[in-house]
Structure 1
Amino acid sequence: MHSNIHVYINDQKVANEDIIKWETKRANIVLKKLGSKPLSQNIMSLRHQLLERKVELGQKRIKKILKNELMLSDQFAKLTAWLSFGLRRYSITEIFVENAQAEQFVEWFEQCGKTNNETTMLAGTPDHYVIATNKDLQEVIETNGGSPLVAKFYIDYEDLSSLRSEIDPSFPLQIAGVARSSDGLAIGGVRHQFRNEKNGFRARLTVEYPLLILPSIISGHQMHLADEFSNWICAAFSWDFQ
């Protein structure tokens, strides 16, 4: 990762080396799932190989490989949401970025959605299989944190209706939306908030899950957020991310 990026989970700073170790482990798992063997354990090599494999397979073949997992995870997500009666549990990671402005990153992220920049979105973390945006609706296939199953959902960035996390007025910028299952059931959402501070900006990254979600998914997704947003921030500012 870049020395300008400082990650905090549960108010404790997370070493960049630990994030790289987490990403390396996940890259090996995902490569195996997609029928490949790692050519190297160097993180840059793993990123390149994994992205190349996903592009080579394409969305249709990836969805075919993951078909059974997606059916199981869809049923589990809907059941968990129904039994939680709209109550939520939050996975939160904070990142402080030196020598950068919040507006620049938010604009970059929104532009990626508008142009459907799938390659850049996929490169955020190994656990991204599909991220495709059509207008304000984003189709996502990914592994959520410590889940044993890959999940599919849709984030509507124009819909904030069922979000439960509070807006912090000290964070004037946000990227937020409701996450729904394929048949439209609200199963969670995201509320990522940003503000400029002295010498940089802070991102408070929040993913909402149904209350009855496994605690391991909550904690695992904190590292997922740390990895994907660190990589996306590096891409947004053209920094080396290793």
Structure 2
Amino acid sequence: MLSAQPEHHLVVSDEKVNERVIENLGEYITRFQIEFQPPNTPWQQRDLYDDFSIKLSGHRYLDNGAVIGNVLHQFRPRAGGFDANLCIYYPASVPEELLEQHRQQLVVEFTNWTYCESMHSGQHTLPTRPKRPLCEPSC
């Protein structure tokens, strides 16, 4: 998890497989938790794709309990790999600079994770460019 993205400083899972994370969000080094649960916000429900069978969703919050965003990553297997639709929802007040930085961060980390997995599995392939744009802020 850490080596896939230079802006990851800590990523650990608890006994429920929720994550504690320290990473750069824009210019800020931020500590937060991700509590994974079924998609239950209106924007997560709106963005569900039936043809993506694997879903990873949850809420991102600070130590004081303040929600700083939501997650909805969806995947579908296909011949030779998979397709991914990656969404992080931030409050509408978040500056575009932070959103763009995090879009780039998602591309780097998922590309690296996919590449490393392909090396271990012997497929040695790089992922292709996303077909759908990364999600815009909705909350």
Asked if TM exceeds 0.5, the reply is: yes
Q: Which runs of 4+ in 1 moved over 3 A?
A: 159-163, 197-200
Q: Which moved more, 1:190-199 or 1:200-209?
A: 190-199
Query: Would you say the 8 A contact 1:174–1:194 is kept in 2?
Result: yes
Q: Say yes or no: does 1:143 pair with 2:24.
A: yes
Distance 2:64 2:41 in 1: 16
Q: TM-score, normalised by structure 2?
A: 0.76
1:210 paired residue number: 91
How far is 1:198 from its partner?
4.7
The CA deviation at 1:205 is 0.9
Q: How does 1:48-197 map to 2 (within 5 A)?
A: 121-134=1-14, 135-144=16-25, 147-158=26-37, 160-162=39-41, 164-165=43-44, 166-197=47-78
Q: Which has the higher contact order (CA 8 A, sep 6+)?
A: 1
Q: CA RMSD in A?
A: 2.0
Question: Partners in 2 of 1:155 and 1:195 — Cα distance?
Answer: 22
Distance 2:30 2:63 in 1: 11
Structure 1 residue 196, shift from structure 2 partner: 2.4
> Which structure is higher in strand share?
2
The one-letter code matched in structure 1 to 2:8 is H
Contact 1:162 1:186 in 2 (8 A): no
1:197 CA displacement: 3.4
The size of the alignment, in residue pairs, is 119
Q: Aligned-pair distance for 1:159?
A: 5.7
**Where in structure 2 are the equivalents of 1:19-30 lying within 5 Å?**
none
Cα shift readout 1:55-102 (whole Å, capped 9, x = no counterpart)? xxxxxxxxxxxxxxxxxxxxxxxxxxxxxxxxxxxxxxxxxxxxxxxx
Q: Which has the larger radius of gyration?
A: 1
Going by fraction, where is helix more abundant, 1 or 2?
Answer: 1
Given the two structures, how large is their TM-score scaled by the length of structure 1? 0.45
Is residue 176–residue 192 contact of structure 1 (8 Å, CA) maintained in 2? yes
Which residue matches 1:47? none
Counterpart code for 2:31:
K
